[in-house]
Structure 1
């Protein structure tokens, strides 16, 4: 299979690999930071009243893995297309988004507070909109790669809200 080169933004192969590697490492670090809050609290989670439309436990890993991959791709792709101050703003937006993503796990699982986590996931949704808008200006391919991630986060917000409402004394 032959991959077409992008001649509109010439960069060395080393630079492209570096951009994607840095993006992948940042996303993996956020995923690892978030997962540290989950493992010791899975029993607490199972004790909650969950909605009937709650996905099975295996679905979260099956969904988050490709979503994190698409987020890493978008970060690496866009960081090579966006220049100057816009690039700095994009990287700050991406970093904020990753922090909010990891932070949700700490609010929900470590603090065991679905209501605080609901605030966190709404902030993540706002961050997703801002990140997609910023990315679309310079790199529509990367922006399109962010849509499934944003859609799943909206689903997660609905799930979080349902859990918070079903478990009012858990805050």
Structure 2
């Protein structure tokens, strides 16, 4: 015998999953970036020539916070779809794309491997497209929540490629040769 959940029970399940997945995805993203020393204060990154379409540095923290929250809600929507065909495969695809996402910062900012990071972000875009297709089969709205993420990953891929083109000597450079900023007080 199959039991159907009431709308209130479905909302409660989504809320419970969201209370777990949103903080988890946010924390993993934060820890990945923090452990890699990502951001404009990274001396190696600060020394790179930036492309013309590089946004203000504060943009990245804001955008990634919103995207990680959307990712957590999308995952919660799929996880709360108990009994939905393809749910397990969709969650597995999400885990793969998230692992690629979390690998990018340590490779780019930590190891200074711009070309390898470009490969990772290319694989991320592909894995994310697969995840969106699989989420669509389970919960179309969950797939829709990932579309801004895909757009940002495509933009970030372009930035990564331009950083490689503008800084070929920086790919794999050791941090020992990084530029050090010194501010003198007036």
Q: Which residue of 2 aligns with 1:3?
A: none
Alpha-carbon separation, structure 2, partners of 1:57 and 1:113: 20
Counterpart for residue 53 of structure 1:
53
CA RMSD, Structure 1 to Structure 2 (Å): 2.2
Pair 1:124-2:124 in alignment: yes
* Equivalent residue number for residue 38 of structure 1: 37
**Contact 2:84 2:138 (C-alpha < 8 Å) held by counterparts:** no
Decide which structure has the larger Cα Rg and report it: 2
Equivalence for 2:14: 16
Q: Extract structure 1 runs of 4+ deviating beyond 6 A.
A: none
The offset of 1:65, in angstroms, is 1.2
Query: Contact 2:21 / 2:76 at 8 angstroms: preserved in 1?
Result: yes
Distance verdict in 2 for CA 1:12–1:77, change over 3 Å: closer
Q: Can you give the 5+ residue segments of structure 2 that lack an aligned partner in the other structure?
A: 172-186
TM-score w.r.t. structure 1 length?
Answer: 0.87
| Residue 156 of structure 1: aligned partner | 156
- TM-score when normalising by structure 2: 0.80
- Alignment check: 8 A CA contact 2:32 2:102 kept: yes
Unpaired segments ≥5 residues, structure 1? 1-5
Instruction: Give the whole-Å Cα distance in 1 for the aligned partners of 2:79 and 2:24.
Output: 13
Cα gap change, 1:65 to 1:116, in 2 (>3 Å) = same
Match of 1:140 in 2: 140
